[in-house]
Structure 1
Amino acid sequence: MILSGTYGELRSNHFHSGLDIKTQQREGLPVYASADGHVSRINVQHYGYGKALYLLHPNGYTTVYAHLQNFAGEIQKHVKETQYKQETFEIELFPEAALLPVKKGELIGYSGNTGSSGGPHLHFEIRDSSQRPMNPMLFGMDVPDKKTPIVSSVFAYPLGADAHINQSQKLTKLRLIKQMDGTYKTEDVISYGKIGIGVSAYDQLDGAYNKNGVYSINTALNNTPKFEVKFDKFSFSETRYLNRYTDYGYYKTNRSKIQKLFRESNNPLSIITNEDDNGFIHVQDSLDYSYTISVKDYKGNDQTVIIPIKGTKSEILNPRAIEETEDFIYSDHATSLTKGKFSVYIPANSIYEDIYLNIKADGDTLIFHEDVVPIHKNITISADISNYLEEDKDKLFLGRLNYKGKPYYTKTSRKGNKLIAYVRLFGDYAVVSDTVEPVIKPMNFSEGKWISSQKELKIKITDELSGISSYRATINGKFILMEYNYKNDVLTYDFGDAINTETENNLKLIVIDNVGNSATFEAKFFRK
């Protein structure tokens, strides 16, 4: 077995909740039930887990199989029948226990690349009775791994008001020096006051080059345990706190995740299993310390880093820079702001610590700080559109601008003269008008042609600005189920559904974008 992703791996805004099992870049491999049970949930969506199956087992645990190409047997039949009955591709079902029982080793589906998968693989989870994902490696999954985790960099954080590292109050990267025994030692850290240590590390398994997550990190100060993080179990309600555990700003700037080996305020993560004084180090003048980091994978392969710390109270030559703005936000207070035509509501505990934010309006654009600070809870942005013509208001949305100034649709609602969006990213947002309908292009057929040899009907649908919201297709007036792959903008209909039994077929497809622009495509084809 070869993995492309391990449990607890650091992902965008969350910890990875299972194992990603490689399928050699292939789809359609058989997937079997790992134990007796019954299908408790079926979820089919364009994004996220794509086609996902949930099995509930007698011991109360649930196993999850995600990014499937298709389900198998009675499960597939039940899903397809319900999709046609409800006339929708996206669907979520919670079958009764007796409806779809399964036995260990029974074929339940086929591996795929559906949803937000970055390539063909099977995402597999084991959840406890409270739906908390557990590390599947704890259940006897045997994955060959003789490689030692790789520590790519180590950092020191001066945290106290008078703390400094090498006479600086800024994040300091420490130089790693490899020792004869394979361990690492850093250069001496000349410091004083309250400091913390961070590490960037990853693991590689046998037979793969993927940079996977590590299993545990332990630290000690003068041989006394200081901090431990272990990826055995967490809950989905806490997974977004990854943005507090890692250095969000450093990642956004340098594309490298630092795991902070100390617990700051507003970090309730249960993966931190042991800590002394929240992992902080209090360095006193004229005293020496030895700080040790031990990074392990699940197989116990260990990489050690030793950091010599020398306590020296010195003059601070490089003080921390704090850019003061007119908007200072207290993290535990709700804040309302008005900037030009924009209003911003920041709920309490939306951000992790008190901070100055740079917020200002420039016409139809809200400059909403910079995406180097994580947002935990949704922040509300509303825009006054009373200056627009009434007939134009329904075509407006709030878009987040990329570095080139191109807007990306943010789910937007309208109440009278207000556009409202809930956001979890800082950055620039603008009022954008979209009056252009989606584009529909047939891929494997054309008007009036015979396509008897085709097993599928494929149509490309695109929308330049606000993006695709919904679609509906019929053949000779009967609903047909079309699967939407947003990654290649393709709708696919399987002729095996046997909805069309006539020789002459009239296809009608309606596609609507996120502001209501509608496009209709009609074509006639022949098939036996």
Structure 2
Amino acid sequence: MRKLWSLSLMFAVAMLHAQQFIPNTFRPPLDISPVINGTFAEIRSNHFHSGIDYGVGGKIGNKIFAIGDGDVSRVKVQSGGYGKALYVTHPNGYTSVYAHLDRYAPRIDSLVIASHYHRQQFDMDVTYRPGEMTVKQGEVIGYVGNTGSSSGAHLHFEIRGTNDEKPIDPLLFMNNVKDNVPPVISGIRIYPIDNGASVAGKGQAKYYKAVLVNGTYRLEGNLPVSANGNIGIGIETIDYLTGSWRKCGIYSIEMIVDEATQFKAELNRFSFDQTRYVNSFIDFGYKISTGKVIHKCFVDAYNALDVYRSVEEKGVIKISKDGIKTVLIKVRDTHGNESVLAMKLKGDGVVAPKSNIAVISGDKPLVVEKENIKVNIPENAFYSDVPFSVTSRGEGMSKIYSVGQRTIPLHQFITVNVRIPEALLPKVRYLCLAKVNGKSSAYAGGVHKNGWLSARVRELGDYQLAIDSVAPAVTWHNAAPQGNYAGRKTLELIVKDNFSGIASFRCEIDGNWALFEYDGKTNRLICPLNRIPITKNKKHSLKVVVVDGLGNETVRNLAFHY
């Protein structure tokens, strides 16, 4: 049987590359007309979207159905991320994932609650053996919610290969989503790749707007772009589904130069451990600066993403004086709808002035030391060789350390070490590093040792020392009159921290651990009274302990009647 599953999965992978519907017996996870609010491999912050998002009109509670027979293999509950998530492993080599659930179906929920109480914690990740929790196709397994890092009620749905856990575009399995709308191409950006290369006579990238003419996109004015040397092209494109104005991601990009494929990428499957390469797949700096998302049709030197299917010379086009290059860029969505942009490059022979800015090797480790700061960079921290420097300005607590340029993406964590000023040593217990962006700042962590504060960060930019000595605040939310919660479904508390964030919490009712769910979006701790063991018709004590990122602790002893 295992051999048959492997053959089935190999056939499915072949179908993926052919962009065909994958034969299967799965049903949709919802019983409503599908409204897709997010598609597979959409460009998200630091990652590709790993599934599709089913919209439900903001309504919490729609039934979620198992798409096929299988075993519940994993339940993960967290205050952020996927919130309440359920994993079902199917006998055909796939695993389906359902995330941001409001709650699980009763049979599953009873086991989940038992796990909460066994571990005495809200966040948990539990795996189950085959046969321990079997479900049938069409069985209700949960209800649509808004838990975790969700901005509104919806179902995040994934299909993964069971063995490699790589997510696959679910629309390749579901034939009930209709789409006859081709992708939209807004423009392109052309890049001089190395020293001396030029675009329109200058050694810097330039954006060109695209217009649709007789079914084909062309550059505004339809004139050749003058260039010289090694050139890269990126394209600004999005997709829409039939009857929807929701911006969606694309399935594939192919660049053909003089009738030969120079670059092709297919976003039908990827590895979670490669998802941060999204910052190399796009023009990260341009997105930070302008908000525009440019998909690069060339590959950075240290980009190991495996979505590239056919790449010659890393997608780089070489254009010499008086040379002409005919370029076609084809963009497709999952349903095979295609848009084409046609353009020409014309060699003008202009050699741009060479840059004197020093760069570091993006794939090699490096230690950069300046007065009172040391930065440890591991190997493969960057996607290409990049300019990098460390400077500082100001004094004392207001001193700001500029670590590289914020428009350059980091793949790996780097360690920023700052010497603690002598005047701050008595307060070292409350000291941390903060990421500075204009007038605002955000907690960046850090540990102190031997007079230094060290923090692992994954963004370049401005940092400074900060102090957080204020413990979290804990108050009742919508408190019941006289503390009488008879007839109420929940106990709710507001928990807020002014800087380093909520790191942990523990709630006890009458001296025993009690299940409270933490919703970081609303700063609430919520106790579902029907899901906890509690004696009714009596007065109860409630002890709440909340700790922030720097260990500041608040303990509240409260009382209520239920």
What range describes the TM-score normalised by the shorter chain of this pair? over 0.9
Aligned pair partner of 1:288 in 304, 321, 324 = 324
Q: Which residue of 2 aligns with 1:238?
A: 274
Q: Which residue of 2 aligns with 1:271?
A: 307
CA distance, structure 2, for counterparts of residue 382 and residue 132 of structure 1: 36
Structure 2 CA distance for partners of 1:498 and 1:194, relative to 1, 3 Å? closer
Q: Which residue of 2 aligns with 1:311?
A: 347
Aligned pair partner of 2:364 in 313, 320, 333 = 333
Q: Which residue of 1 aligns with 2:27?
A: none
Q: Alignment partner of 1:238: what SS?
A: helix
- The alpha-carbon deviation at position 322 of structure 1 amounts to 5.5
Q: Which residue of 1 aligns with 2:102?
A: 69
* Equivalent residue runs for 1:514-525 within 5 Å: 514-525=549-560
Q: Which residue of 2 aligns with 1:451?
A: 485
Structure 2 CA distance for partners of 1:65 and 1:322, relative to 1, 3 Å? farther
Aligned pair partner of 1:121 in 144, 154, 165 = 154
* Equivalent residue runs for 1:43-192 within 5 Å: 43-128=76-161, 129-185=163-219, 186-192=222-228
CA distance, structure 1, for counterparts of residue 101 and residue 357 of structure 2: 48
Range with bigger deviation, 291-300 or 176-185: 176-185
- The alpha-carbon deviation at position 164 of structure 1 amounts to 1.6
Aligned pair partner of 1:492 in 504, 520, 526 = 526
- The alpha-carbon deviation at position 523 of structure 1 amounts to 2.3
Q: Which residue of 1 aligns with 2:403?
A: 368
CA distance, structure 2, for counterparts of residue 76 and residue 342 of structure 1: 50
Paired letter, 2:387: Y
Q: Alignment partner of 1:244: what SS?
A: helix
Structure 2 CA distance for partners of 1:412 and 1:494, relative to 1, 3 Å? same
Alignment identity in percent? 33
* Equivalent residue runs for 1:401-412 within 5 Å: 401-404=436-439, 406-412=440-446
Contact 2:473 2:495 in 1 (8 A): yes
Q: Which residue of 2 aligns with 1:392?
A: 427
**1:263-300, CA deviations, whole angstroms, 9 ceiling, x for partnerless residues?**
22112222111122222211122232210111111122
1:508 paired to 2:539 = no
Structure 2 CA distance for partners of 1:345 and 1:61, relative to 1, 3 Å? same
Paired letter, 1:4: N
Structure 2 CA distance for partners of 1:515 and 1:132, relative to 1, 3 Å? same
- The alpha-carbon deviation at position 389 of structure 1 amounts to 6.1
Q: Which residue of 2 aligns with 1:342?
A: 373
Stretches of structure 1 that go unaligned for 5 or more consecutive residues are none
Paired letter, 1:222: D
Q: Alignment partner of 2:171: what SS?
A: helix
Contact 1:40 1:95 in 2 (8 A): yes
Contact 1:170 1:320 in 2 (8 A): no
Q: Which residue of 1 aligns with 2:453?
A: 419
Q: Which residue of 2 aligns with 1:256?
A: 292
CA distance, structure 2, for counterparts of residue 205 and residue 420 of structure 1: 47
CA distance, structure 1, for counterparts of residue 404 and residue 316 of structure 2: 29
Q: Alignment partner of 1:145: what SS?
A: coil
Contact 1:407 1:432 in 2 (8 A): no
Range with bigger deviation, 161-170 or 1-10: 161-170
Q: Alignment partner of 1:253: what SS?
A: helix
CA distance, structure 2, for counterparts of residue 208 and residue 176 of structure 1: 22
Contact 1:448 1:524 in 2 (8 A): no
CA distance, structure 2, for counterparts of residue 388 and residue 61 of structure 1: 58
CA distance, structure 1, for counterparts of residue 354 and residue 75 of structure 2: 51
Q: How many residues align?
A: 521
Q: Alignment partner of 1:435: what SS?
A: coil
CA distance, structure 1, for counterparts of residue 79 and residue 282 of structure 2: 29
Q: Alignment partner of 2:272: what SS?
A: coil
- The alpha-carbon deviation at position 507 of structure 1 amounts to 1.7
- The alpha-carbon deviation at position 427 of structure 1 amounts to 1.5
CA distance, structure 2, for counterparts of residue 390 and residue 254 of structure 1: 41
CA distance, structure 2, for counterparts of residue 269 and residue 48 of structure 1: 23
**1:179-204, CA deviations, whole angstroms, 9 ceiling, x for partnerless residues?**
13354344311122211111010001
Structure 2 CA distance for partners of 1:320 and 1:476, relative to 1, 3 Å? farther
Q: TM-score, normalised by structure 1?
A: 0.94
- The alpha-carbon deviation at position 518 of structure 1 amounts to 1.3
Paired letter, 2:494: K
- The alpha-carbon deviation at position 417 of structure 1 amounts to 3.2
**1:10-53, CA deviations, whole angstroms, 9 ceiling, x for partnerless residues?**
11111111111111111111111111111111111111111111
Range with bigger deviation, 481-490 or 362-371: 362-371
Stretches of structure 2 that go unaligned for 5 or more consecutive residues are 1-33
Q: Which has the larger helix fraction?
A: 2
Aligned pair partner of 1:378 in 398, 410, 413 = 413
Q: Which residue of 2 aligns with 1:24?
A: 57
Structure 2 CA distance for partners of 1:223 and 1:90, relative to 1, 3 Å? same
Q: TM-score, normalised by structure 2?
A: 0.89
Structure 2 CA distance for partners of 1:175 and 1:407, relative to 1, 3 Å? closer
Paired letter, 1:138: L
- The alpha-carbon deviation at position 372 of structure 1 amounts to 0.4
Q: Alignment partner of 1:237: what SS?
A: helix
Q: Alignment partner of 1:116: what SS?
A: coil
- The alpha-carbon deviation at position 213 of structure 1 amounts to 0.4
